[in-house]
Chains A and B, each alone.
Chain A
Amino acid sequence: MGEAILFTLFSLSAVAFALGMVFRRNAVHCALHLVGVLLSLSGMFVLLHAQFIAAIQILVYAGAIMVLFLFVVMLLNVKGETPLLTPGAAKGFGFFFAFIAFVELLWIVVSQGGTEGEPAPVPALPPNFGSPAEIGKILYTTWLFPFEVTSILLMIAVVGAVVLAKRKFA
């Protein structure tokens, strides 16, 4: 029962913050709304037995990535766009295609469910499901090679960011 209440709370706040993020004019407000979405999702991760993911969601996303965003927002000092949305037919097409995509996603969710009209039952999980120890065990055995490739990717990204930001353009 409590889980259902928390789920409703987190999902409503996530959707509300997401709408605020897309339709606010001030970029700093948008960034703070995105932090709200990330925190709500972190709460949902805890409900889904993903405690480690919830923790790094706050540390990496709400911490590191959003600070980077806010730095750039304040560095660029972008004036509020007028008009807010892209003008002309492109706006109509944008909403139209987003609506089509939503209907498709909805259709997939509805058609892939469990038995007729009933949501699939939630399986019982072992008590240590999603704990850092269990995550670490499969991350450093089954997924060791992708993990090492990720480190190379991050190094390339850092080098690329420095090169792009320091280059003098004519």
Chain B
Amino acid sequence: MNTHFQLTRIQNYLSGRMNASEMHALEREALEDPFLQDALEGYKLQQGVDAKQLSLLQQRLARRVERKAVERNQQFFSWQRLAIGAIAGVLFVVACVFMLLKNSLFQVPTTTHDVALTHPFEETIELVQSYSGNGADAFPLNGWHHLNSYFVAHSKVSGVKGKVLINFNISDGHPTTIAVKELALEGATDSVEEALIAELKDLLTAGPTWSGKQGELVIIYH
């Protein structure tokens, strides 16, 4: 590739340093190449080629390229900063929204201990979700309030005070292998205790669906 297409030929043509056949060749080429034709006409108007002028123009281009490189670096850094800031902001908001949604929709407890869910009315039964650190992760799909209401509505045992701690495994959404871990009832006879435990097991087995693998629950009787 020539550094300047045709420049020398244009110069020679315009300054009369070409013989007739060379002139004819260039003229013919120009007839086929409008770019060359126009340029030739331009230089003719200017009355010749100014090589110095063109080399200055080349230097100007070189400076332009250098300036762009510097500019681009500056832009790049401020751009980079902006982008990092923006991405961090967006991620933060997304994370917050995600956490909020997760909590409100699925009611995953954020604390690991004893969240009391009292019923708005004075009820005789209060369920306390318990995490005693032995792997209990289950929660009722419809929420603790719903479970509480279910227990209040279906429990037939009365006149009992105290609390029962039970744990169980979840299989297909329903509690299985329900075991009583702690039983502290005031003035209850053995038969009442047995009836209560049987009722608890029945209610849990037939009750609302659970999510998770292992559940632990404290039931307080007032």
Co-complex (A, B): no
| Residues in B lying within 8 Å of A, measured CB to CB | none
